[in-house]
Amino acid sequence: MIKKPVFGIQMGILLCLLVTQYSDAAYARDGTESYVMIRNEIDNEFFIAGERRSGEYRFNGTNVFSKFASKHVSLGYVGAGSSPMASAYRYYDIKLLSPNIPTPFQGNRCMTSGSACSSSGLVAPKLMGNDGAYGMVRPASGGSAAIGQSDYVRPILSDNAYQYFNNLPVGAVTDIVFSACAAKNEYDPNRGQRCTDQGDIKTSTDTMRVTKLAQLNLKSTNALQELFVDSNGNTTVGLGSEFCSEAFVEKQNGVMCKLVNYDVTGAVHDRFGVGLRVNEALLGGLKIAAKDLYYSSNTTKWYTYNKTGYTSDLFKPNTDGLYIFLTQTFLRTLVNSNIDLQNSQKFFTFQIRNERYVQSGFYDFTPSNTLLIRPREYGISIIDKDFVQNPTRSGKVGSTEPPIEFEYIVSTSGPRQANEITAQVTGPSHRTAGGVNYCLFSSPDNKIKVPFSAFLSYVDATGRTVKERNSCGDAPMDILPARWEATPWVNAPQEGSFYRTHLKLTFPMNETNSLFSLSGEDWIGVVRAQGEVKVKATWRGNDVLP
């Protein structure tokens, strides 16, 4: 908008008067902090563990909310005690002056404990700028607690900010300089308006010098391990990546498994701890004694699962993993409690708790390796033949293109083979008017949906390949006639065997139906789907134990 020169002169005079009038409303403070950068490669998440050297200056938190910590009310942020958004000054901008991080902030903190705050935990800006967040509006009423402390300058870090600090070397010193401006009157940043252009404003500038003490990377292995447990808690380590073994810990028999792989550079401070967490919802209220489960980083010093181990002790430079020890007592209770073991890979997780930051100091991370616990007496398991938990494949659609294939190992375990064994492909589906089922693949924006057939196949006892269509909606396929190889149980109080066979899942890429989307149009792009192959075994007869 072009203004007349005389108006420009008047504006210049007005700005000069404003600076004079509100000079005592401008804050400028300095502080220091040190931190450990944690990168979770498993879930692509980050956690900054600040040491909290000063009560005023804060640099801590994660880019996701904890799954199990009810006290986790704040995402990761940088901030100080300055508060220009007081009283009637509700409209504000926060700008990062240094370092140069594209789109550094998601908004300003509004803790979920505040009645005026949303579940997002932030005051969202009208404009997320390349250098800050613009046009935020603080909740109108309530004290500081009710508005989630959104009256303080505490911007929520973006993923770009986490990436920036993750990529810095250990020992790096960074000056984080950010300014805030709060106005009484609302303005529209999408029309080029800024808080600093308004007539009645308050401002602050904060500088925080942060030092990177250490880098901790939680590694993604995608590995898995079968554990078959009998009714007495005795365990047979099945197929998998061999990260479990029988062990004797704290005067108890059981199984020791390496659940987390990590590497660490630098010295981790002792202001935060790590603990083992059990998903009580999946365990159906199962009572677990403190000495039923243990965890360790060196397999020498063990913590009971309900105790917190300090990271300076656990994450040492000469260590590379977190181990869990499942006692025979725990395993016996588990398999005899009628708990659904199909979700055993979700039973355990680890939680970081930074006691210096009571609002943002929580973070749950998924184990690197997956435990598949199954009953040894009358159990069934299916795993990828390469022993990975989440196998992925890709292909191209065309008349001469090869199919996408997955290969699995199906195992049953019991005093004898099951009477009935079935397999079924599940996932997003489409059923035609003629009653034909297809697995449905979709583009990331869900605008393109493409049907694909799926087939299951096995080799039977005569060496013949049996292949049937099973496309995300078809009835389970009988796989009992497959060629099963028996392996007797070892060191078991009763006789029994593992029975194993191979099962293949195939998605043809050359079918005519897959050349067109559901709307009947040619398509180009990338489509995806995620599903499961579910297996079921049933034992019948008078010889079946209760």
Query: What is the tens place of the pLDDT at every residue in 451-501?
Result: 999 999 999 999 999 999 999 999 999 999 999 999 999 877 889 999 999
> Is the CB of residue 411 less than 8 Å from the CB of residue 381?
yes
The yes-or-no verdict on residue 11 having pLDDT over 50 is: no
pLDDT value, residue 85: 65
Q: What angle do CA 522, 523, 528 make, to 5 degrees?
A: 140
Q: What is the pLDDT of residue 9?
A: 23
Instruction: Sketch the domain layout of the chain as residue ranges.
Output: 25-217, 219-373, 381-538
Q: Tell me: pLDDT of 29 over 80.
A: no
Q: Three-class SS of residue 171?
A: coil
Supply the pLDDT for residue 28. 61
- The span from the CA of 459 to the CA of 464, in Å, is 5
Q: Which of 344, 372, 341 is nearest to 236 (CA)?
A: 372
Residues listed for the chain: 546
**Residues 6 or more apart whose Cβ sits within 8 Å of residue 248:** 254
Share of the chain above pLDDT 90, in %: 70
SS3 content of the chain, % helix, strand, coil (to 5): 10, 45, 45
- 282-317 per-position pLDDT tens digit: 888 888 999 999 999 989 899 999 999 888 788 887
Q: Any idea what the Cα angle at residue 149 is, between residues 145 and 151, rounded to 5°?
A: 120
Q: How far is CA 295 from CA 77, 96, 301, in A?
A: 31, 41, 9
- Token pair for residue 131? 């250098």
Residue 121 pLDDT greater than 60, yes or no: yes
Q: Which amino acid is at 150?
A: S
Residue scoring higher pLDDT (545 or 284): 284
Q: In the predicted model, what is the mean pLDDT of residues 230-249?
A: 93
Instruction: List the CATH code of the domain at 381-538.
Output: 2.60.40.2040
Q: CA torsion 335→339→344→349, rounded to 10°?
A: -110
DSSP for residue 117: S
Within 13 Å and on the Cβ side, how many CA atoms surround 111? Answer: 23
Which tokens sit at 481? Answer: 């006639």
**Reported pTM:** 0.85
Nearest to 256 by CA among 221, 289, 228, 295: 295
Q: Give tens-digit pLDDT for 67-109.
A: 877 889 999 999 876 666 666 789 999 999 999 999 999 999 9
The distance from CA 226 to its chain's CA centroid, rounded to whole angstroms, is 23
Give 258's strand partners: 323
- What does the CA dihedral 508, 513, 518, 521 come to, rounded to 10 degrees? 120
